[in-house]
Structure 1
């Protein structure tokens, strides 16, 4: 079922999915929440935009089963087009931007915050930017202050703590350059 939610974009909410909107939602895209492949059992999917937070959807974006998205006060989440596979988590307290034609595999975590202050750190929050045509593998962690360039591929299990150049394959903990690559969704 599509819901208008007084926004210019449309939302398709599948079984066992929840959308909790207290902040502004904008964009001209479409968002599918809680999508399952044939034969899969649905699991709870939750998108929560808290008061003072904002979300923008510019393209067609699918959130598969088990995805959790939290946009806190002062946070801004921008989605281009692509998908988040099963059990992906996004914590947005500053800014998370995901480009177009982006594939993010299961159990990935994207955070623009440490949630706590730490003496000598570079701040509690910093924006995360994921460019167009990016592929993020299974179980990757993308931490605050990271920019992933367009066309990059992040290997499964990597922890991304610094910027990734466009068109580069990175792997490891922390993620390091492996070689230039090209790929398409």
Structure 2
């Protein structure tokens, strides 16, 4: 079911087992949205703006929530699994990211006043499962990702599963983040390492 959805220009929406909720001030233009499964939701609050994105949910009891003032364009938001979430905070700008939450009960959270540039990958999983050959136990289970408030992620960066990037930090161009980033820190490289602490930046 689709509720209170204002269509602007050519939004392509295919929904089975999902609900899309917006407000009068939500702005949608040239998005492709596909929902399949049971009890899935997309909530776009306040004057959130979505332009030329691909959004897909497959599974049950999943949610994508976009807060007031968020501005997302040329991005791919994807959930595959059950009880998973992608949440994007207030006045966060995203200009070309792949945001993916896969697994069981996995979450990807981005805080308020963040800035994510182009060609960014943020993924709660490794792409394909790896098993122990003898026990068949999965070795690379999905893990949550948390990006705090006022975090700047520069172009071509990747943030991998299990990572927390704390408030006020910067992820430099082309970095691959595999471990926790402390507050107010610039990290760079592959794997990313701290190159400067006690920093502040302006949007």
2:188 aligned partner = 171
* Alignment RMSD: 2.2
- CA distance in 2 between partners of 1:6 and 1:33 (Å): 13
Find out whether 1:184 has 2:196 as its counterpart.
no
> Aligned pair in 2 of structure 1 residues 12, 50: CA closer, same or farther (>3 Å)?
farther
Q: Which runs of 5+ in 1 are unaligned?
A: 35-43
**C-alpha displacement of 1:7:** 2.2
Is 1:143 the equivalent of 2:160? yes
Tell me the equivalent position of 1:102.
Answer: 114
Q: Does 1:3 align with 2:6?
A: yes
Q: Which deviates more, 151-160 or 49-58?
A: 49-58
Contact 1:116 1:124 in 2 (8 A): no
TM-score by length of 1: 0.83
Task: For structure 2, list consecutive stretches of 5 or more residues without a partner in the other structure.
Answer: 8-18, 133-137
- Distance in 1 (CA, whole Å) between partners of 2:186 and 2:139 is 26
Pairing of 1:1-185 with structure 2 (within 5 A):
3=6, 7=21, 9=23, 11-14=26-29, 16-22=30-36, 23-26=40-43, 28-34=45-51, 44-52=52-60, 53-65=62-74, 67-74=75-82, 75-81=84-90, 82-86=92-96, 88-93=97-102, 94-119=106-131, 123-180=140-197, 181-185=199-203
Question: Which protein is richer in strand relative to its size?
Answer: 2
Greater relative CO, 1 or 2 (CA 8 Å, sep 6+)? 1
Say which SS state the counterpart of residue 72 (structure 2) adopts.
strand
Number of residues of Structure 1 aligned to a counterpart in Structure 2: 172
1:24/1:46 Cα in 2 relative to 1: closer, same or farther (>3 Å)? same
Between Structure 1 and Structure 2, whose CA radius of gyration is higher?
Answer: 2
